[in-house]
């Protein structure tokens, strides 16, 4: 069972890394620096709902380290990890409240990912001015979070029919 879980987690890390890579090579310029859909988070939300918190944490942490090492500046890994940590914390709390749908949970995940990243950047750069980006990044996080939530929900609906293990 441990081996099966290890293999499943590894496959999901690979899948989410590919999602990140595809997004990195096909950037969608929206006029605001650093904004992207965050397709890899489909895997995180899927894992959170279907496997469990520990897998979701493991998958996003390993993915961020791999993707940052391959395609980005190591400083950026710190910001991503802060975003992912806050995002997963928020999603876990809301999911356990049992009154939010996967869309609401994912929406909060998107928002808190951005809040975490900006907070980490503001702490590193020692400037509060960066928080002004949140007036844009909160609505953007809501939008991307909702989209990710819908896609994840659809994935969960379909993948239950496939005997994964």
Partner 1 sequence: MLKIVGNDKMPEKRLKATKADIVLAVFFIAAAAAVLVWSFGYFGGSADSVVITAHGETVGVYSLSEDREIVVDGGSNIVVIENGAAYMKSADCKNQHCVLHAPIRYGNEQIVCLPNKVLVEIEDNGESEIDTVAN
Q: Which residues bind partner 1 (CB under 8 A)?
A: 1, 4-5, 8, 33-34, 49-52, 72-73, 75-76, 79, 94-95, 97-105, 107-108, 111, 121, 124-132, 134-136, 138-139, 141-142, 150, 153-154, 156-157, 160, 164-165
**Of 21 and 131, CB closest to partner 1:** 131
Query: Measured in whole angstroms, how far is the alpha carbon of residue 84 from the centre of its chain?
Result: 6
In whole angstroms, the minimum distance from the beta carbon of 38 to partner 1 comes to 16
DSSP structure string for 2-41? HHHHHHHHHHHHHHHHHHHHHHHHS----SSTT----TTH
**Of 61 and 72, CB closest to partner 1:** 72
How many angstroms separate the CA atoms of 110 and 107, rounded? 5
Distances (CA, A) of 114 to 36, 40, 43, 69: 11, 15, 18, 21
In whole angstroms, the minimum distance from the beta carbon of 94 to partner 1 comes to 8
Q: Which two tokens stand for residue 23?
A: 């997004």
**Of 10 and 154, CB closest to partner 1:** 154
In whole angstroms, the minimum distance from the beta carbon of 142 to partner 1 comes to 5
């Amino acid at each position: 069972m441990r081996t099966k879980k290890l293999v499943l987690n590894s496959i999901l890390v690979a899948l989410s890394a590919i999602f990140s890579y595809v997004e990195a090579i096909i950037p969608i310029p929206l006029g605001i620096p650093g904004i992207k859909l965050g397709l890899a988070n489909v895997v995180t939300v899927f894992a959170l709902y279907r496997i469990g918190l520990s897998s979701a944490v493991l998958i996003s942490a390993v993915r961020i380290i791999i993707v940052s090492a391959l395609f980005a500046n190591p400083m950026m890994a710190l910001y991503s990890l802060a975003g992912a940590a806050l995002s997963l914390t928020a999603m876990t709390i809301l999911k356990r409240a049992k009154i939010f749908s996967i869309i609401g949970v994912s929406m909060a995940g998107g928002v808190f990912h951005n809040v975490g990243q900006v907070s980490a950047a503001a702490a590193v750069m020692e400037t509060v001015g960066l928080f002004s980006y949140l007036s844009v990044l909160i609505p953007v996080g809501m939008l991307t979070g909702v989209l990710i939530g819908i896609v994840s929900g659809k994935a969960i609906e379909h993948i239950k029919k496939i005997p994964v293990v």
